[in-house]
Structure 1
Amino acid sequence: MKKMKPSFCCLVFLFFLVFSATQCSAATCQSSERAALLQFKNSFVPNPSCLGSPPVVASWGVEGGTTDDCCSWDGVECSNQTGNVVGIDLASGCLYGSIDSNSSLFRLVHLQTLTLSDNNFNLSQIPGGIGQLTDLRQLDLAGSGFSGPIPSAISRLSKLETLRLSSINISSAVPDFVANMSSLRSVSLGACGLTGIFPQKIFHLPNLQHLVLPYNPHLSGSLPEFNMNSSLVRIWLEQTAFHGELPSSIDNLKSLTSLKLGNSSFSGIVPATIGNLTGLLELELYANNFSGPIPSSLERLTELTRLFLSYNKFRDATLSWVGKQNKLAYLGLSGIRLSGTLLPSVGNLTNLVQLLLGENELTGEIPSWIGDFAELTDLHLYGNKLSGSIPKSFSQLMNLKHLYLQSNYLNGTVEMSMFMKLESLTELHLTANKLTVLDDHVGKPNETLPNFNLLGLGSCNLTQIPTFLEKQNELELLELGENNIQGQIPKWMWSMSRERLMVLNLSHNALTGVEEFQDALPWLNLTVLDLSNNRLRDSRPILPAICKLSKLVALDLSSNLMSGVLPQCIGTFGSLDIMNFRQNSLHGTIPDTFRSGSKLRFLDFSRNQLQGQVPRSLANCKILEIMDLSDNQLTDGFPFWIGTLPMLRLLILRSNHFHGIIEEPETNTEFPMLRIVDFSFNNFSGDLPLKYITNSKGMKIFNTTASAYRNTFITFSFDYVWALEFFYSTTITMKGYQRDYSRIQEVFTSLDLSSNRFEGQIPDLVGNLEGLQSLNLSHNMLSGPISPLMKNMARLESLDLSHNQLSGPIPPELSQLHFLSIFDVSYNNLSGPIPTGNQFNNVDNSSYVGNVGLCGDPLSKQCGDSKPPSSDSDEDEDEGSDFKIKFKTVLIGYGCGALVGMIVGNYILGRKEEWFKKTFKIGIPKNWEE
């Protein structure tokens, strides 16, 4: 056979290409598909959130606009061979309306790609008609406004490779059929409100590479044992309820580059085999319950760019494994009990953007080589035991935005000019160290500091409010507490950051007033105002001025010298959570202006000179937890309506002029949560009002393992999520022994009805107070026997029944109270032998004096001895009226735990209890989409 010449072959091939191209260009969409698209277009109206922009589909088929060929329309893709529509991409297309299963869209049966993300389909359900698109490879409905469960029709999409439904409201379980869709390569269901248990078999889909499920807090599940042939590249499960351990077989995921399990419920040890995933770029295990050592094998993960292990329960954690991961840009190791020093090997991480080591136990000095981290934007070293001075090299960190050094032992002098060149610095926190901060650029008008959003200079030995603040117009939080700032608040402060300031703390200083009176404080966005523990004497202009701060959440003016009356507005704030006027010289009545829907949780008017009645409108404060009205001149009967407050936990009416009989409650719903009660030093009479108290679940049900302290959080969002935290405190005094509870544990319970005119017997229902820790009924007119059912009060630590008219024996059953450490029945008419055993062996004589009929140890009178005992008491007390003697009683006090910190989570530095001891945690940004 004769061979063709090469030139002829080339001509033939060229002709073939031209012919093919001609055929392809000639392909147009089918008329039926064009009609289906136009019908689909007409089902939508303009999206009101698109600010007048028409939907993308509005241009389809417009005469004089796009052509009749739908293959050229925006967002439409056709096959070059057949002309069939194979792709629809209308992401962010301003579509508004609904799609049901009868939509003409589902007549496009050749579709392989359907992207409708970031539109608004008006909470319509995901249409089951999608199941007709059996050629579909990619389905993207993320952020599209659909709602409802994943329809079973999707199970018919046997060729589906990508299923992306993130940020739509599914609010149901992931159906089991997803585990049978063997073609799936990517499943993205983030922030969908998923519930139930995630089907574990999905992890074993043969082609699955990306499993993205974050921000589904009610989605439970656990990790399987992984197979050698797994294709997984990404596993993102942060902020879910996934639990259990990391399997040691995790090193079978040879292709894994990103593992994000943060803020979930994982536990156990981190297996050393994780160090075999040498291709890993991102590892996030923060905010779980991992324990044991941090595996040293992590040093082999040299490709890592992100590593977050913060807020776990690791043991013996050090930085010895850090240093070889020199590609790291983000390193978060806060709150994991790191000890030791900042090792020189950490200095190898010169690409760091974030170095987060707060809330640990690091010691030594801050090394100067941190100044070599040229890319660093965030440095968190707060809440450690670091000492020495702040390195001068910090002035080289030109990209630094956030510097948190608070709550350490740093010392020396800090000149504010060292931060002058750091133009990006917006958050600087130096509070709670031993530093002396100098405003050293005074008189240098051409030199300015960065514009701060947050500035914490608490306990920095300031004697005046720094003058550089006058030029700060972007401050959101200013912390100057615990200094020695004297004199008046300067008038220039009224023009500082008027539009931005949200938190102002000038507490624990020596401020005496305001330099220039104003009708209103200028910061209309102010959320927290703390001027407590100063010497502010005149209530003007502060008290009237607060009325215009409509966004206030926390107001603390306690421990000043303010006179005057409470403004009428105090009950009208729509957002106020914490109100503290404790320890001033305020007089007049409490305004009866508290509105329905009040958000008030903490109310303290104690230690003033307030008169009149308890305002009935306080019944509108349905979420109130703390009410302290003690040490005033209030004159009222028992405010029985307070019992309807469902969240009330602490009620203190001590040292007022309350009077009358406290009648039995009409229902069993009064005081359902009450845990701490103090009605002492009033004129209440009648029987003991124990039915009110025994109604409270707080006195009966308790968790003996709980260690959380009672507090109030107020959260804010700056660049991180922050929380101001107020702790509640109590003081107990008995027989000269005083115990301060600077933070009340959640399980703490106390009842003080002392120094009133209660009479009659102690009812047996006192035994129902199973959770009570302190009981004081002293200095009343109680009679009859001591109830043996008190033995049921198994947690009781302190019992004072002194100065009554009780008779009969001390029940021997009380020896079963194993925690009882303070016991006083002095000055009653008790008789018989004193119980022995357990805690009774440690009670001294003074607890029994004034009971001539008692006998046995520790008294000198032995049982059977008729000779009256000599008094062993060293106390000289008037035995006349109960109301003239020098009281020896339990005084349940209450002090607002001062604001102690900027934090996220429940960690508080235990060694420092002042207002300004602040800690911070990182909030990982929601950067989880593909």
Structure 2
Amino acid sequence: MKMNLSFFALVFLLFFIHSSSAAKCQTSDRSALLQFKNTFVSDPSCSGSPPMVASWGETDDCCSWDGVECSNQTGNVIGLNLAGGCLYGSIDSNNSLFRLVHLQTLILADNNFNLSPIPSGIGQLSDLRQLDLGNSRFFGPIPSAISRLSKLENLRFSRVNISSAVPDFLANMSSLMSLSLGDCELNGNFPQKIFHLPNLQLLIIPYNPNLSGTFPEFNFNSSLQRIWVEQSSFHGEIPSSIENLKSLTSLKLGNCSFSGTVPDSLGNITGLQELELHLNNFSGRIPSSLERLTEMNRVFLSYNEFSDATLSWVGKQKKLVFLGLSGIRLGGTLMPSLGNLTNIEQLLLGENELTGEIPSWIGNFAMLTDLHLYGNKLTGSIPKSLSQLTNLKHLYLQYNYLNGTVELSMFLKLENLTELHLTANDLAVIDDQVGSQNVTLPKFNLLGLGSCNLTHIPTFLENQNELEVLELGQNNIQGQIPKWMWSMSRESLKVLNLSHNALTGVEEPRDALPWVNLYVLDLSNNKLRESLPILPAICKLSSLVALDLSSNLMSGVLPHCIGNFSSLDIMNFRQNLLHGTVPDSFRIGSKLRFLDFSQNQLEGQVPRSLANCKILEIIDLSDNQFTDGFPYWIGTLPMLRLLILRSNHFHGKIEEPETNTEFPMLRIVDFSYNNFSGNLPLRYITNSKGMETFNTTASTYRNTFVTFSFDYVWALEFFYSTTITIKGNQRDYSRIQEVFTSIDLSSNKFEGEISNVVENLQGLQSLNLSHNMLTGPIPPSMKNMARLESLDLSHNQLSGQIPQQLSQLNFLAIFNVSYNNLSGPIPLGNQFNNVDNSSYIGNVGLCGDPLSKKCGDLKPPSSDSDEGEDEGSFHIGWKTVLIGYGCGMLVGMIGGNFILARKQDWFAKTFKIQMLKSWEDSR
């Protein structure tokens, strides 16, 4: 009997389970779902795939429909997961969805709700535990109705354009375990109290550059496991109480504004696996306590202001997969303890001060995919053990002191190698076996062999069809560009640098260059003579961002297409033999910022269509044969900072400006060696805010950034340089500080007096008005030009005394008033005590030190000092030149658009690289 009862009990139990699991959905829920289905059509971006809800209604039981979950006991719909369901349409607060009052899970991520507001009707779903609207094209703030969801545990709005502050009510949602608001265009201050939510484990709020905030003191009982705030405006210090986050496994604070020291207490969070502090303002030492964090697999500390940084703490991190320590002033050698990192995949130590040789034991890192040692002080040869790294993809060794011969065959085994950069060492690279038909090199995306003592373009490149960047600058490559290059990487090539070689032309001229997606073409500093094959051939390169053909021997005329490029940022034809006129073809909407036609034989007028280039910053037309009046219309360019018209045939008066809005940003002006006449055009220049006093401690240099994207975000940095000629001696300045200002109006026919408006140029550092026909006195008001370092008024007809007030110019280092009609005593004190007598010759009436004529002494000064004096011996000439990328233009490569916008100081050297960042928060 006992056995029979047990049998019947088992049968009853099975029947009960079957009955429960077979519960049908409620009629009201089925109706609501069908109405919800009719809200949508197929998303056009889903390539014709029907929306997930399209099959709803084919059966009566809604619990069997795609994405629908029901309660086994009641049949109520408790879950709706339509992630990536190709839904397209809008949801308002009256939608039938909100009649599903038993919903506990609502996932609508990765759909297209057509920028409709986040519906407040969600607040009616009082049982909701999980709400996921990520990447769903909702728009607008989080509605306050969400605050009614007291049971909510997971809230995810990532990649929804919220465009508002984080609502304070989130700090009262005590059930929250996960909050994900990444890439939501958040602004304002992040509510600190959210950090103290008792159950919060995941706080994911990265990629909100306008979101500010600071860390609180952390509670001992915190449940936080992940804190991700990278690429935001969080700032302040990391409190030492962070050690209270005993459950923390991931801390990502990269590309923010944190400062102070990294607390030693961080080493007490022994379960920490990911630590990202890169691109902040941390200072002091890297705490040695980090060696206790033996569970870490990812450490990213690059680009901070650490002092005395070494690798001494790294050796115990045996689980590390990613180690990023670039740009932190890391010193010392590559320590043997690094050899313990047997799991390392990405080792990024670029742009530091590491010395010594690359150790051969790096060849033991079997999993290594990325090795960045660029921009250090490493010496010795490249170890052959690198050929053992069969998983290696990216090898960056550029800008070191490596030497010896490199046989490209050592890389033959590295089938995965796609990026190899050896530029700017003392290497001799030879393609020993690579020309053999039986040898196949890896398919490169990037190949940097600049300054590698090459005498010809490596022939193995003929079979490379995936190149994006080819850097062969600053070698000794001679002869013509071979015809086989026209078949190389036609679709993929983005950057081609053959600058600073001895190329003379092209072996097989073409009507168009074959690289249809080329962004950067740098053929500068060669011996290219034939303009016909090259100049017209650039016209079909519609994607060009930077074009540099400077310092060649190209003759002929400029092609009409030069004004047609829609994306061109930098155009440089400096120092060639080009003649004819500049085509008047520059279009409205041009992106041109840097234009250099200097040192050619161009003539005619300045093309009026340049007025269409509204973001031009640099115009250099010097050393040509332009015959034109003053191009006053250039004054309408709102971003123009540097205008060089030196050594042409410009003529006529420069009339007073009609308004006070011309040249609003001008900082460097050179109109010297022309035939301008009339009064000095000082009112044009004093309009400029660029001539105002700037922070004198600024150390940034005048440059132009060009950006474009393919696999990475690239930045090309062009520095402007200066040559100063004083009494026949030239001094070159390879970079001009951003605060520098200069005016050179010398060697023209300007007349009249120097207006008192000159005193408004309070930020000016150099003023040259020499070799004109100026009359009248030197204005005493020049004393207000407090930053003036160089003043040349020589070879004019100025009269009266040198104002004693000029002795107040404490920075004045160069002063020349020779060959005028000045009289009276020379000012005494300060910088005038260092001016020699050659600066005063040709002024019979001057007296006092350093002249031999004493004041009150009528005896004329000795003429000995005049002998051999060249009237043109003193001249300050400013001209811009372009430093090319790699060996020509400086190229920086990084990941992430935010970094580019917020960290422009990153690009001071070549190839500052951060791996592409991707993130996906927990759902």
TM-score (norm. length: structure 2): 0.97
Q: Which residue of 2 aligns with 1:470?
A: 462
User: Are the aligned partners of 2:721 and 2:735 in contact in 1 as well (CA < 8 Å)?
Assistant: yes
Q: Which residue of 2 aligns with 1:693?
A: 685
User: Are the aligned partners of 1:631 and 1:654 in contact in 2 as well (CA < 8 Å)?
Assistant: yes
Paired residue for 2:603, among 608, 611, 622? 611
Paired residue for 2:917, among 905, 913, 925? 925
Q: Report deviation, 1:548.
A: 1.1
User: Which secondary structure does the structure 2 equivalent of 1:561 belong to?
Assistant: coil
Paired residue for 2:440, among 424, 448, 459? 448
- Code of the residue aligned with 1:10 in structure 2: it is S
Structure 1 position 343 matched with structure 2 position 335: yes
Paired residue for 1:377, among 366, 369, 372? 369
User: Which secondary structure does the structure 1 equivalent of 2:13 belong to?
Assistant: helix
Paired residue for 2:17, among 7, 15, 21? 21
- Code of the residue aligned with 1:891 in structure 2: it is G
User: Which secondary structure does the structure 2 equivalent of 1:869 belong to?
Assistant: coil
CA distance in 2, matches of 1:456, 1:116: 46
Structure 1 position 299 matched with structure 2 position 291: yes
Q: Report deviation, 1:908.
A: 7.4
- Code of the residue aligned with 1:23 in structure 2: it is S
Q: Which residue of 2 aligns with 1:805?
A: 797
CA distance in 2, matches of 1:502, 1:723: 13
User: Are the aligned partners of 2:728 and 2:873 in contact in 1 as well (CA < 8 Å)?
Assistant: no
CA distance in 1, matches of 2:26, 2:613: 67
User: Are the aligned partners of 1:558 and 1:581 in contact in 2 as well (CA < 8 Å)?
Assistant: yes
Q: Report deviation, 1:859.
A: 1.1
Paired residue for 2:500, among 499, 502, 508? 508
Q: Report deviation, 1:22.
A: 3.7
User: Which secondary structure does the structure 2 equivalent of 1:926 belong to?
Assistant: coil
CA distance in 1, matches of 2:43, 2:436: 54
Paired residue for 1:560, among 531, 540, 552? 552
Q: Deviations over 1:95-153 (max 9, x none)?
A: 10000000000011111000000000000000000000001000000001100000000
- How do residues 531-680 of structure 1 correspond to structure 2 at under 5 angstroms? 531-680=523-672
User: Which secondary structure does the structure 2 equivalent of 1:893 belong to?
Assistant: coil
CA distance in 1, matches of 2:907, 2:331: 15
Q: Report deviation, 1:872.
A: 5.5
User: Are the aligned partners of 1:791 and 1:817 in contact in 2 as well (CA < 8 Å)?
Assistant: yes
- How do residues 177-192 of structure 1 correspond to structure 2 at under 5 angstroms? 177-192=169-184
Q: Which residue of 2 aligns with 1:762?
A: 754
Q: Which residue of 2 aligns with 1:901?
A: 890
User: Which secondary structure does the structure 2 equivalent of 1:896 belong to?
Assistant: coil
Q: Which residue of 2 aligns with 1:40?
A: 36
User: Which secondary structure does the structure 2 equivalent of 1:570 belong to?
Assistant: helix
Q: Report deviation, 1:715.
A: 2.6
- Code of the residue aligned with 2:824 in structure 1: it is G
Q: Which residue of 2 aligns with 1:881?
A: none
CA distance in 2, matches of 1:744, 1:891: 14
Q: Which residue of 1 aligns with 2:186?
A: 194
User: Are the aligned partners of 1:849 and 1:872 in contact in 2 as well (CA < 8 Å)?
Assistant: no
Q: Report deviation, 1:920.
A: 2.6
- State, as a whole percentage, how many aligned pairs show the same letter: 78
Q: Which residue of 2 aligns with 1:115?
A: 107
CA distance in 2, matches of 1:22, 1:610: 92
- How do residues 386-397 of structure 1 correspond to structure 2 at under 5 angstroms? 386-397=378-389
CA distance in 2, matches of 1:872, 1:354: 71
User: Are the aligned partners of 2:726 and 2:873 in contact in 1 as well (CA < 8 Å)?
Assistant: no
Q: Deviations over 1:13-68 (max 9, x none)?
A: 42452242143134211111111110000111111111111111111112xxxx20
CA distance in 2, matches of 1:335, 1:295: 17
CA distance in 2, matches of 1:304, 1:874: 76
CA distance in 2, matches of 1:588, 1:375: 59
- How do residues 834-913 of structure 1 correspond to structure 2 at under 5 angstroms? 834-871=826-863, 873=865, 875-877=867-869, 885-886=871-872, 888-899=874-885, 900-903=889-892, 904=894, 905-906=903-904
Paired residue for 2:429, among 415, 433, 437? 437
CA distance in 1, matches of 2:496, 2:469: 6
User: Which secondary structure does the structure 2 equivalent of 1:799 belong to?
Assistant: strand
CA distance in 1, matches of 2:296, 2:733: 46
CA distance in 2, matches of 1:140, 1:659: 69
- Code of the residue aligned with 1:28 in structure 2: it is K
CA distance in 2, matches of 1:462, 1:909: 27
User: Are the aligned partners of 1:846 and 1:872 in contact in 2 as well (CA < 8 Å)?
Assistant: no
Paired residue for 1:213, among 192, 199, 205? 205
- Code of the residue aligned with 1:42 in structure 2: it is N
- Code of the residue aligned with 1:670 in structure 2: it is E
Q: Which residue of 1 aligns with 2:276?
A: 284
User: Are the aligned partners of 1:534 and 1:560 in contact in 2 as well (CA < 8 Å)?
Assistant: yes
User: Which secondary structure does the structure 2 equivalent of 1:394 belong to?
Assistant: helix
- Greater shift in the superposed pair: 739-748 or 762-771: 739-748
TM-score (norm. length: structure 1): 0.96
- Code of the residue aligned with 2:269 in structure 1: it is L
User: Which secondary structure does the structure 1 equivalent of 2:635 belong to?
Assistant: helix
CA distance in 2, matches of 1:797, 1:154: 63
User: Are the aligned partners of 1:720 and 1:921 in contact in 2 as well (CA < 8 Å)?
Assistant: no
Q: Report deviation, 1:906.
A: 4.4
CA distance in 1, matches of 2:401, 2:466: 29
Q: Deviations over 1:62-105 (max 9, x none)?
A: 2xxxx201111111111111111111100001110000000000
User: Are the aligned partners of 2:434 and 2:440 in contact in 1 as well (CA < 8 Å)?
Assistant: no
CA distance in 1, matches of 2:693, 2:16: 82
Q: Deviations over 1:186-240 (max 9, x none)?
A: 0000000000000000000000000000000000000110010000000000000
User: Which secondary structure does the structure 1 equivalent of 2:339 belong to?
Assistant: helix
User: Are the aligned partners of 1:721 and 1:923 in contact in 2 as well (CA < 8 Å)?
Assistant: no
Q: Report deviation, 1:538.
A: 1.2
Structure 1 pair 158–872 and aligned structure 2 pair: CA distance change class (3 A)? farther
User: Are the aligned partners of 1:383 and 1:909 in contact in 2 as well (CA < 8 Å)?
Assistant: no
Q: Deviations over 1:655-714 (max 9, x none)?
A: 000000000110111000000000000000000000100000000142323221122222
- Greater shift in the superposed pair: 124-133 or 75-84: 75-84
CA distance in 2, matches of 1:625, 1:923: 31
- Greater shift in the superposed pair: 860-869 or 450-459: 860-869
Q: Which residue of 1 aligns with 2:82?
A: 90
- Code of the residue aligned with 1:584 in structure 2: it is N
User: Are the aligned partners of 1:809 and 1:832 in contact in 2 as well (CA < 8 Å)?
Assistant: yes
- Code of the residue aligned with 1:334 in structure 2: it is S
Q: Deviations over 1:241-263 (max 9, x none)?
A: 00000000000000000000000
Structure 1 pair 872–70 and aligned structure 2 pair: CA distance change class (3 A)? farther
Q: Which residue of 2 aligns with 1:404?
A: 396
Q: Report deviation, 1:909.
A: 9.0
Q: Report deviation, 1:815.
A: 1.2
CA distance in 1, matches of 2:426, 2:917: 33
CA distance in 2, matches of 1:368, 1:685: 70
Paired residue for 1:831, among 800, 823, 828? 823
- Greater shift in the superposed pair: 812-821 or 337-346: 812-821
Q: Deviations over 1:148-178 (max 9, x none)?
A: 0000000000000000000010000000000
Structure 1 position 170 matched with structure 2 position 166: no
Q: Report deviation, 1:442.
A: 5.1
- The count of corresponding residues between Structure 1 and Structure 2 is 910
- Code of the residue aligned with 1:802 in structure 2: it is S
Q: Which residue of 2 aligns with 1:254?
A: 246
Q: Report deviation, 1:278.
A: 0.6
Q: Report deviation, 1:887.
A: 5.0
User: Which secondary structure does the structure 1 equivalent of 2:750 belong to?
Assistant: strand
- Code of the residue aligned with 1:38 in structure 2: it is L
Structure 2 stretches of 5 or more lacking a match?
895-902
Q: Which residue of 2 aligns with 1:913?
A: none
- How do residues 703-722 of structure 1 correspond to structure 2 at under 5 angstroms? 703-722=695-714
Q: Which residue of 2 aligns with 1:331?
A: 323
